[in-house]
């Protein structure tokens, strides 16, 4: 999505007699985001308006409405709140919490690669948001740095839950071949059969973690098709392999293992959902904070499928390593240091 504060026909309009469009913030492939004022409650909100044509199909309108209502029921500090939804001049819109700050993409561009501690610190709130959504039966389908918002005091929030699902239902088989989900973070199964579940979000999150640790995406290509092909046919390398190539110090083996587990091409070999991943991630953070270096037994916990396939076990040769899920879904706010956000305002990246 590109930032854009230029004139726009909707600027100055009042949607549903309530939401006064003040300024255009950003435009993406399927929606434009505006800063708006809620005249009834007297507060600043973000309004995401779908592009013309997306709301023409009645079935899509029903799916859009259902997804918006489901996301509005989510109550988690790491999820961008949805306040309202509706249609104006035939175009669906969503009214959301306004987050002033920047996106994770901005941080990656300025600062990546991050230290392992900082990378895990940034990704944990994202995983916590997914855990809450997955417990409620919601799948994001478009996890990427542009959909992760960083507030002025470092708070992390994930935007666009459910939106990709509604649009995919209408467009995934369309003649123009649109596949929802930025191609760099696209799980293989969404490319091959159009199906996504909680494990698909885990794959995309693993790619984001890889990028935080290495400063680059796992695959590049001249066309989106080439990148999508790589996701289907190649295995994302451990971050340490890329870091050595770029003359950076490698990360502990259990962080490599966690990243590889998330990005396995076979969905059933990834963490099963955000709750599962959150437990593993917090265990890795605790080990890192305690100064633990390479630890094969901890690596087995992070990526048990790899150790089962190679018959490598923790402890005795017959002892199977399993992940114990002890963390509650409700999560604490990650204590992230404040970032310098002068002059930046963003309210959810439209895909």
Active-site amino acid positions: 142
DSSP state letter for 146 = G
Per the rule left: phi > 0, alpha: psi between -120 and 50, beta: everything else, 27 is: beta
Residues 6+ apart with CB under 8 A from 41: none
d(C-alpha 17, C-alpha 80), whole Å = 24
Residue among 58, 37, 35 nearest 48 (CA)? 35
- Asked if 28 contacts 1 with a C-beta cutoff of 8 angstroms, the reply is yes
d(CA 339, CA 288): 23
189 with 267: CB under 8 angstroms?
yes
C-alpha pair distances (Å), 37 with each of 79, 148, 292: 21, 23, 49
Strands (DSSP E) found in the chain:
2-3, 14-15, 19-27, 31-38, 43-50, 82-88, 91-97, 102-103, 148-150, 156-158
Q: Which residues contact 293 (CB under 8 A, 6 or more apart)?
A: 252
DSSP 214-226: HSS-S---SSHHH
């Amino acid at each position: 999505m590109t930032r854009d504060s230029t004139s726009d026909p909707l600027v100055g309009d009042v949607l549903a007699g309530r939401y006064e469009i003040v300024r255009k913030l950003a435009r993406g492939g399927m929606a434009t985001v505006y800063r708006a004022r809620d005249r009834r409650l007297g507060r600043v909100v973000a309004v995401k308006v779908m592009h013309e044509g997306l709301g023409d199909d009645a079935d899509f309108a029903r799916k859009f409405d259902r997804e918006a209502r489901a996301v509005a029921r989510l109550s988690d500090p790491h999820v961008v709140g949805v306040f309202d939804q509706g249609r104006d001049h035939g175009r669906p819109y969503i009214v959301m919490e306004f987050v002033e700050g920047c996106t994770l993409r901005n941080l990656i561009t300025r600062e990546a690669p991050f230290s392992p501690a900082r990378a895990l610190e940034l990704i944990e709130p994202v995983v916590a948001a997914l855990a809450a959504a997955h417990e409620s039966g919601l799948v994001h389908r478009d996890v990427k740095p542009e959909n992760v918002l960083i507030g002025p005091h470092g708070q992390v929030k994930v935007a666009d839950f459910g939106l990709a699902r509604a649009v995919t239902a209408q467009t995934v088989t369309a003649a123009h071949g649109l596949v929802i989900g930025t191609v760099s973070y696209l799980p293989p199964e969404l490319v091959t059969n159009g199906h996504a579940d909680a494990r698909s979000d885990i794959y995309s999150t693993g790619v984001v973690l890889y990028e935080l640790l290495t400063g680059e995406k796992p695959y590049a290509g001249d066309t989106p098709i080439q990148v999508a092909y790589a996701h289907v046919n190649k295995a994302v390398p451990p971050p340490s392999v890329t870091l050595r190539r770029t003359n950076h110090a490698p990360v502990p083996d259990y962080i490599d293992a966690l990243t590889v587990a998330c990005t396995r091409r076979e969905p059933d070999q990834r963490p099963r959902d955000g709750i599962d991943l959150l437990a593993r991630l917090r265990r890795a953070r605790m080990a890192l904070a305690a100064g633990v270096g390479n630890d094969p037994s901890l690596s087995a916990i992070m990526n048990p499928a790899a150790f089962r396939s190679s018959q490598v076990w923790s402890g005795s040769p017959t002892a199977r390593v399993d992940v114990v899920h002890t963390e509650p879904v409700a999560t604490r706010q990650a204590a992230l240091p404040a970032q310098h956000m002068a002059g930046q305002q963003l309210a959810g990246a439209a895909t």
